[in-house]
Structure 1
Amino acid sequence: MASKVDHKQVPWPAVEPSIFLPLKWLSLASTLLPAAGIYFCISYTFTFGKEAISNLTLSSCPDVKSGLPPISYSIGSWEPQKLIWLLVLFTHFPPRIFLTMLYPQVWAPGAGRVWLATCCTMEGISLVLITVFDVDSIAGFHVHAAFFASWAFGSVACMIVTIHLMRLTGLKDRSALFHRTFIIKCLLLASFILAVAIASTLYPISQRLCLSWAYSIFCIFEYSLVGINAAFWAVNLHEFSTVYVGFKITSVRHDEIREKKLSSGSPSITSIEA
């Protein structure tokens, strides 16, 4: 029989607290989950919201049917899609914060890493603000559109800086894998920019000229932006998976900081370790 533990003799803390975050979980939650959530909401709208789609008209042309529902209505106006998307967003955002903090650190210190961290932050925060300030919010459509534009800009900037760093450091030539992922990233960047350009052109044209077909094509390219963005980040994390299994959040004691101050004179606190 095991001896009874005397809890009064157990030190506190009993163990050093730490959490291990598997890379697979981070990959699913931070990249694929939001794309899957948006496409699920769109599919749900097509399947169970046919009446809502049939009554949807262009905002500047009340007599012209839209043909296809934009993402903004599928995740921000209609229920239960809105509730589903909020659940997805709440699940996605914490691992996205970790990804935003971790990914830039793999690159050498410098302006490129600072720009990458800034762009990743803009992209992640803009996605939240798009949801908070939806098309039916008191802020109005223009605020919603501005945050969508900032999300698109942040996404493009992240892609450009990442590709530039791969070229600058020569990473793209270090193995066949990185050479392939470099080409894939370039193709995804070109596709994303093309989709943004077409969507940005067709939306005002559809509203000004009351063209239902132009609005439908705009919606299709808007749908594609979500998938391209998710694919780009999936490639990034696939590269991560060749080196890392996951990441660990560990505790840092006060006495450790004091020892570092005494030994080096300049403390360096890192709470997230690879």
Structure 2
Amino acid sequence: MNITLPPVSYSIGIWSPQKYIWMMIMFIHLPPRLAFLTLYRRLFLISAPKSEWYARINYVYMLTLWAEPFGLILVSVVDINGGFILHALGFAIWIICFNFNMLFNILLHHFGGCRDVHDRMETTWRIKCVIFLVGYFCAISTPITYPYFTAHCSSYAYNLFSLAELIEVGCNSVFYAIAYFEFPKTRITIGIKSVQRNLNELDKSKTQMAPALPHKDAV
């Protein structure tokens, strides 16, 4: 068997140090993904038409946005040797939720009227449609090529599976990077604000707030 194209699992499997590099990048990547969820939730709620199905799709979209990072964490933490079933389950959750996220995003973008706001929003919508089509066909090929590889030890099938994985990861990165162009003036700042207080005022407040000592009668 001649495998010429390495799968994504080589970076998240049992091999070191690439697994630890992947884990570090993934957990750095996770907080911005939560910010992505907040941005699109507000966008689609603001532009939401008075339609029951639109509200339902928006609700399900929020659920799949939460489920996708969970699948990514599961497929990354549990490697093939640690538990193949959980690893495969995490991969399935990730790839299914990602494709539904693309579909829901495109539908809400269109029926919410976002395409009419600016030419940029029309361009990003068209790009997202292309990414969805590419990612969809890659996703539906994986449950065909991998079982065929395990049944027949076909290097051709495994190379196709690896190629689909790589394309799917690329689609994932590009699709979510489009948010930078759809929210060009949005800035999210996370930090800790220090409050400086006058030490003399602090001492006075402590003195005033301190309870009086109980008076003990002399015996």
TM-score (structure 2 length as normaliser): 0.77
Corresponding residue for residue 176 of structure 2: 233
Corresponding residue for residue 138 of structure 2: 195
Pairing 1:77–2:14 present: yes
Which of 244, 247, 252 is the aligned partner of 2:186? 244
Pairing 1:135–2:80 present: yes
**1:160 maps to amino acid:** L
Equivalent-residue separation in structure 2 for 1:126 and 1:249 (angstroms):
28
Corresponding residue for residue 114 of structure 1: 59
Aligned-pair distance for 1:250?
A: 9.1
Q: Deviations over 1:105-145 (max 9, x none)?
A: 221263233222111101111111111111121xx212211
Structure 1 spans left out of the alignment, 5+ residues = 1-63, 252-274
State percent identity of aligned pairs: 31
Q: Deviations over 1:134-173 (max 9, x none)?
A: 1121xx2122111101101110111111111111112113
Equivalent-residue separation in structure 2 for 1:73 and 1:196 (angstroms):
19
Corresponding residue for residue 151 of structure 1: 94
Q: Secondary structure at the match of 2:183?
A: helix
With CA pairs under 8 Å and 6+ residues apart, which has the higher RCO, 1 or 2?
1
TM-score (structure 1 length as normaliser): 0.62
Equivalent-residue separation in structure 1 for 2:39 and 2:113 (angstroms):
21
More strand by share: 1
Q: Deviations over 1:179-206 (max 9, x none)?
A: 1111111110000001112222111112
The aligned runs of 1:15-26 (5 Å cut-off) are none
Aligned residues: 185
**8 Å contact 2:73–2:90 — kept in the other structure?**
no
The aligned runs of 1:1-274 (5 Å cut-off) are 64-108=1-45, 110-137=55-82, 140-241=83-184, 243-247=185-189
Equivalent-residue separation in structure 1 for 2:29 and 2:190 (angstroms):
18
**8 Å contact 1:105–1:113 — kept in the other structure?**
no
Q: Deviations over 1:196-243 (max 9, x none)?
A: 1222211111221221121112101111100101111111232011x4
**8 Å contact 1:67–1:213 — kept in the other structure?**
no
Structure 2 spans left out of the alignment, 5+ residues = 49-54, 194-219
Q: Deviations over 1:13-54 (max 9, x none)?
A: xxxxxxxxxxxxxxxxxxxxxxxxxxxxxxxxxxxxxxxxxx
Equivalent-residue separation in structure 2 for 1:130 and 1:250 (angstroms):
33
The structure with the largest alpha-carbon Rg is 2
